[in-house]
Structure 1
């Protein structure tokens, strides 16, 4: 059978109007040609989307209605008061911004790749894009304020959509052609819809057509799933139209939109290329989320201690065949130790101590290696930890966890061994901010015994690099309320200011409780870093009240501490 190249070309997507075939696009251009004899060039993208979903015998009427609306919308002549009353901020696709329009709208600006920011007048029967003459008549500043206020009053519908596992999108849609333009002021929109602004890291956002915007707040590790899910969502909605805006995924950050989508127009292929700053944020959030450090929806359900105990026992048992699983075994054991404190907040029971002791064993083994030893998980449940070589991973926060545990459980030998882990290895962790590495350097220096001047110097470096403007990986809220608190306590500890330490400890515990709220996550139960600093202070004779929230009493005062293999 002979291959029909002509037929294939006819049915291929049109290069200029890809929502139509080449044959359909040719017919539409022929129908529109008589209306373009006024010397103006008119974009056919929105009209093509309408025709795509209509029988071709209706196309002449659709074309006639479309150009009639354009004629009505182009009359102008409104008073300044009428302009201010009806003006709205409006996003337009760059491809619709013809040279003729650009000359008449010098006030408009490109706000992101593929998107132009302009003003539009919402009239009784049509929407008209404002020209420089309109802006001059009403005043640029006054028009901008009115455009913002009118846009924010546009009614919309809102729902949450699950995509790619546990990632969720906020879908914002409505009949108004200005709906998607609300992406310009996304944090205020989020405040209106869900009662809180966007996180400091911003959001992933798509504006596929003028009636829809979708966004995902960048707050936890689900951002890694959301970015691909949102890209597919945006492309489908953009192709469906009408009123197409952009098939791209953007990063809304501090009021600006940055395109993450790279389009190869020659091959019509799409790829996602987040900038380094966003990649750092995503990497940090995935790491934090994976180890249960973030207060998220996933932390709403209390863990089942029996299931967590069995999972930890199984992960230890597998180490004989798969030594690479030691990191996961440590994470599981630490979650179990924290979870026990949900039902045993004072750490009075032997099973709670066993979980803490096992965490110490696994954490130290992860970074310093170990000889074979038994790990007890309560009752008669004992697992053999095999001999492990000293191959420390580049995981800075896991090292801090291991050190905090050794401090709490008064394991001086393990503390010394952990402080011999090369800082150069931990510096290879590309998922943490610089202050974390300075904090590790401070603690290693402190426990290794050089002069206090060196400790103070390194502590100052930790403080200087933990300010919000220096953060590129961790959420500011998490850093301020959780991660930085041990640093503040250590500062009071080495200055010997006992009253200041007591006050700082109370603040740290309050911040811990406020951050986690009603979360049932294991890490919500114990403020591990503050507990480690309080344990040091207790041993130095500081007057520490052992009955404080998130501080297991019998770990703090050493009464539950027993020998660890």
Structure 2
């Protein structure tokens, strides 16, 4: 099942012709085998790492090596290609360990970006203040040829006030993302969710150039706010809050964010956010005991009331 089915009001099993079945979920035995293979590949490079008991590995210097992104990639490949991907993944990780940091701002100026990350997923907060959405921050990131380097500190590179506008300028210069408008309810024209996909690692970073996305979808700028989902590094989805179709769009985006977050590398968040026209943002999905609820209060409640979607 493709992500488009997650958005539709009714799942009739129809997707684009020839779309392959989704990947089979990894088993616990698969995950254990992946950890062992990563451990062997590091050993061949002369580095000792040990399983941390939580699905990852840890070096003798305390450095942690997660396997979540690797698992998401392997899940999509036949078993006979696993060794090749694992070996290449470890080679890239190994090359970053002893790599020198950036020498100067001028050296990396055209490769600086803000990469959106869930604050809760970081080992520690950066020493600069970069909130983007509730629970989501922008990490200063250098885009190297084979990997990205996130910087928790800016010492020696420049100040936050110097670096932030450069990173934003570089985000605006990124190629446009592929745009797929999907009707969450085929009977309502205002139920469209705009899904943007890219191969680079900075898909959600385009939220920081939101005017470009709105221009790409032909927005009139009349909506009181937007629903936003950033499930992983290659995708951002937005919906302009409008009439009754917004209810179907909300449901579709909750399903999309959940599915994409759990099945793709570079996972960020399964939550859906509301961003008002004045820039105020709030998280509208919340999780408890394995279930997801949508909370309509504050600015989104005001918008929904004005549109007649909920009672005053």
TM-score bracket, shorter-length normalisation? 0.7 to 0.9
Query: Is the 8 Å Cα contact of residues 184 and 255 (structure 1) preserved in structure 2?
Result: no
1:143 aligned partner: 163
Query: Is the 8 Å Cα contact of residues 87 and 119 (structure 1) preserved in structure 2?
Result: yes
Q: Does 61-70 or 177-186 show the bigger shift?
A: 61-70
1:125 aligned partner: 146
Q: Does 48-57 or 228-237 show the bigger shift?
A: 48-57
1:274 aligned partner: 296
Query: Is the 8 Å Cα contact of residues 190 and 198 (structure 1) preserved in structure 2?
Result: no
Q: 1:40 aligns with which of 59, 63, 68?
A: 63
C-alpha distance in 2 between matches for 1:20 and 1:199: 45
After TM superposition, the score normalised by the length of structure 1 is 0.43
1:26 aligned partner: 32
2:286 aligned partner: 262
Deviation at 1:256, TM superposition (A): 4.5
- Rg bigger for which structure? 1
- What SS class does the counterpart of residue 250 from structure 1 fall into? strand
Q: May I ask how many residue pairs the two structures share in their alignment?
A: 264
Q: 2:199 aligns with which of 171, 175, 178?
A: 175
2:22 aligned partner: none
C-alpha distance in 1 between matches for 2:260 and 2:179: 16
Residues 109-258 of structure 1 aligned to structure 2 (within 5 Å): 109-133=130-154, 136-155=156-175, 156-165=177-186, 166=188, 167-186=191-210, 188-196=211-219, 198-199=221-222, 201-253=224-276, 254-258=278-282
The structure, 1 or 2, with the larger RCO (C-alpha pairs under 8 Å, 6+ apart) is 2
- What SS class does the counterpart of residue 157 from structure 2 fall into? helix
Distance verdict in 2 for CA 1:219–1:63, change over 3 Å: same
After TM superposition, the score normalised by the length of structure 2 is 0.75
1:291 aligned partner: none
C-alpha distance in 2 between matches for 1:154 and 1:184: 12
Structure 1: gaps (5+ residues): 1-18, 288-428, 432-565
1:290-332 CA distance string (max 9 Å, x none): xxxxxxxxxxxxxxxxxxxxxxxxxxxxxxxxxxxxxxxxxxx
Residues 411-490 of structure 1 aligned to structure 2 (within 5 Å): 430-431=311-312
1:319-373 CA distance string (max 9 Å, x none): xxxxxxxxxxxxxxxxxxxxxxxxxxxxxxxxxxxxxxxxxxxxxxxxxxxxxxx
- What SS class does the counterpart of residue 132 from structure 1 fall into? coil
Higher strand fraction (1 or 2): 2
2:102 aligned partner: 77
C-alpha distance in 1 between matches for 2:193 and 2:91: 38
Deviation at 1:106, TM superposition (A): 1.8
Higher helix fraction (1 or 2): 1
2:10 aligned partner: none
Distance verdict in 2 for CA 1:116–1:271, change over 3 Å: same
Aligned CA-pair RMSD: 2.6
- What SS class does the counterpart of residue 231 from structure 2 fall into? strand
Query: Is the 8 Å Cα contact of residues 115 and 139 (structure 2) preserved in structure 1?
Result: yes
